Each structure stands twice: as C-alpha cells, then as structure tokens.
Structure 1
Amino acid sequence: MRTLVISLVVAMAAVAAPASAAPADTDSPPAAERAQATCHRTLPTYPAIEPGTTSEVVRTLQCVLNDAGWGPITVDGFYGPGTKRAVRTFTDGFECCIASPLRVRTWYWTILFSQSRRLRGLELGDSGIRVKTLQRALRADGETLVVDGDFGTQTRARVKVFQGKCGLTRSGRVNGKTAFFLGQGGCNG
C-alpha cells in the first residue's frame, strides 16, 4: 500500500511538471520582459516610416506602440498588417484630414512617447524611466539631447526650448500645459 501511494505521488508530480522543466531561476525576467529587453527605444532621430518598411526603426516603433498600449504587436521589424492595425487605431482619433494616415510622421513619435508614461510633474533632479521617456519625446520633437534618464540642466534647457516653441512660460518643468503639447505631438507644425 505504501509503495502504491509513493508511486501515485511520483506519477502526479510527473504529470504536474513538464519533463523538460529546469529549476526556476528567480533572477530571470519573465518571457514578456525578455522580449521587451530586445527593444531599443532611443534612436538618434525618429524618422517617418512607410508601411512595408523593414528596419530596426520599425522595431522601435513596435516597442513604443506596445508601451503606449496600442499593442500587442509582434516586435519583428516589419511594418506589416499588425503594425498597420495598431497605427490605424492610434491615428483614428486625429487622422480625419491627413493623406496617408499610416505613414508614421515624426510628431507621431512625440505623441506615442508622451502616452507611454505620465510625464507631467517632471522637473530638475528627477530620474528614471519617465525622464528617459521625456527625453525621447523631446528628441522626437527635434531637440538634441542625451537620453540618460537624469533630469539635469541639459533636459531642463531642452524643456525650456520646447516650451518656447509652444508659446508657454519657459519654466523648465513639465507642467500640465507642457505635457498637453507633448501629447499633441509638439508645436512645430
């Protein structure tokens, strides 16, 4: 009887755990995080992209679309049907009068970065992913700055330039109006 119970417990354990399962590595990120780790969100510039394009820039676009909640999109570097669907959904609210709405324009990047993180309230001395996202949004808007995650004097200066383009008070702090204009794609157009 005891042998039967032990045999049943061993058999149940074998069914519950796959035979190829390796010991859990608690330091390894989940699969979704590992996939996102292959995303390079910081580019020298954020160019316009046409449907059908295959490039690393498209991989970045796919990552940012996922970050901003327009996915899930497979990050494969091809601007194909899945990416088109996400861009169409993203642009449906504001593309009423623009020819070629699936052409990703430079100001789309600014909007996408602004939507992926809450940027309002950032100021000198802050650091982290929200600051990196702000720096990428400013870079997408045409500013030249290092994306390092530190809201230092270079970032404050670029925020002031952005605020000036938008006719805002040049405080260097991302207040509600600054965050609004970032979320609208900037003030260049």
Structure 2
Amino acid sequence: MLEEIIIPRTITVHLGRPNTAAENLTVDFVYYLKNVASSEIYPTWPYEALRANIWAQMSLVLNRVYTEWYRGRGYPFDITNSTAYDQAFVKGRNIYDSVAAVVDEVIGQFLQKPYFREPYYAEYCDGKIAQCPGMKQWGTLDLANRGFDSTRIIRYYYGETMQFRETDNVQYITPSYPGYALRRGSQGQNVFIIQELLNGIAVNYPNIPLIYPPDGIFGEVTERAVRTFQQQFNLSVDGIVGQTTWNQISRIYVAVRKLAELGSLGRPQGYFTGLWTGRVLRRGDVGIEVQQLQYFLSVIAQTYTNIPPVDIDSRFGAGLERSVRAFQREFGLAQDGLVGQVTWNTIYETYIALTQ
C-alpha cells in the first residue's frame, strides 16, 4: 500500500482475468483512462454523465494503484481489463474525441471519503445487464437528462459526503516496500507504517499484540506483533519484516479495512496525530479509533485518579464508557458517554499536555 496518492505516468494492464495467461501491456496512464472511458460509455452521452463516469473510472484505478492490489500479490501488473474484476480496456481501440476531451479536463481528479487516505473504490456497473450496489452507468444518463450535474450524480450513488480531490503528483509506480528488511532496532517512518498497519489488523485478529504508542521504533512489542502476524498467516516466523511479510501485512490491512470495496472502513488520515476521524464513538464500536481513545485515556487516568483506567483492546465496552463519562464529568463536558469531536479533542489535548 502506497503512502501517497499518485497519478501514474504509465500503467501495466493484464489483458485477461488475473490468473489467466495473457499479455501484460504497459501504456501511458492518460491513454489508459481514455481507452477505458471509450470502452465503457457512449461518446454521445451528455457531458455531465461522461464526467461522472470518468471520475469513477479514475478513482477506481487509482485505488488499485494505491492499495497495490495486484502488485502486492506478486502479479507483474497493476490492473486487469476483465470487467468481472476491474474495468474494460481494449488493446488498439479507437478513442472518442468527446471522451478524450473530458479525460484531459479531469485527469488527476478522484473521489475520496472524508477523513480517509485512499482514493475511493468507486464500484460501478452498466445497470442493465449487470447489477451492483454502486453507480449505474445507464442511470447516469437518465440523471444527466433530468438535469443533474456530475457532482450530484456522483453523490446520488456514493453518498452526499463524497469528496472531490485533485493531485498533480505524477510519477512512475514504485513499490511501497522500502527495499530493506525491518528488524529489532530499526527506526523511522517505515517502522511506524508497520506499527499502524499491524494495529489495524489486530482489530480483526486480537491475538496480535497492540503497539502503543506507535513510535517508529522496532522494539520488543513490535517484534512480538510481527512474529504473531507471521504465525497467523503461515509465514516464516523470524520477527523480521522483509518483502514477503511487508506485502502480506499491507494486503491483510487492505482486506480487513475493506479499502478496495464500496463500503471501505478507510485508512484514517493523520493516524495517531489526534485528528478526529469524523466518527462519533459509542458503546459497541470496534476499531482503530477506539484503540487510540483507549490509549489516550489510559495515560490520562494515571494522573486523574477519578477516571477509571482502561484496557486497550479496540472494543468500546462498559468500562470504556465509564471512563469517558468520568472524563466528561472531570472536564465539564456533557456526560453522555459519547466521543464526538469536542470530547475527542479535549481528551487528545489533555493527553498531549501530560506527555510533553
């Protein structure tokens, strides 16, 4: 999984289903998108329908690149041309002028959910022969003819909170693996990334030890988490993050967070920076945000004895609710046991004040 959203200079397309023997064709990325759009939609459709479809196509392929969906599995390509898995691409096909003009206009633009880091996996289908929970291509034609602009069309299918982003970060695709193994004693951003991803995976695999605070230092707890992960997923158990373990950690994180699905749980922006994720936390919730809340409160409880200490287990249970209510009472907040933006920010600011 990449650390930044890029517009690839080139992209390698597998001309078939992932596991079938077929040609791998490397093409200019802008040409790829023009080919996909010319293969998927009609050039006579209204501008607003074309634009909505091309936004979705752009976002879907950028999600494939960002998540290293195929490269992380050892395939020598970035996407397929099978509509059962990805989107249509026809080698050598003609490109429609009306479609090409819209691609040139929106190149670099993509969809993203609020507080998430990955380009949105904008699943779509034709809506006539094939059905899906995402955007319906023929439906976009109907909506455009009814006066919907492209923004309204996108939000009609993907939700009112969908964000429209743009980047000019054009570069060749390079693997996320740093090129060297991480092990006990390693330090830096790559160690922090592994800690982030393992903590996310531990929500679904609670036998993996949580690494708190994630600090970019490969110590004893990180090594134990790596070893447990390796044992869980049948890898060589050596506590070292080489390329195979790195790719598997990334792949499992993408899977458990559903980053390449319509209902993505998201890779939170600003992991462990105290940035509120836009999600009100309450009893019954499970996830990365709950982990962080538990850690912040566990530190605060060491100083504020009226606040009960909490375990860090990713689950918002009765004990965490009691601690939240006690914190709210201590700091003059509404004692509802819910962690919205005000309560979250106050907890984080208190944590920072105690740890600086």
Bigger share in helix? 1
TM-score scaled by length of structure 1: 0.43
Bigger share in strand? 2
Q: Which has the higher contact order (CA 8 A, sep 6+)?
A: 1
TM-score scaled by length of structure 2: 0.24
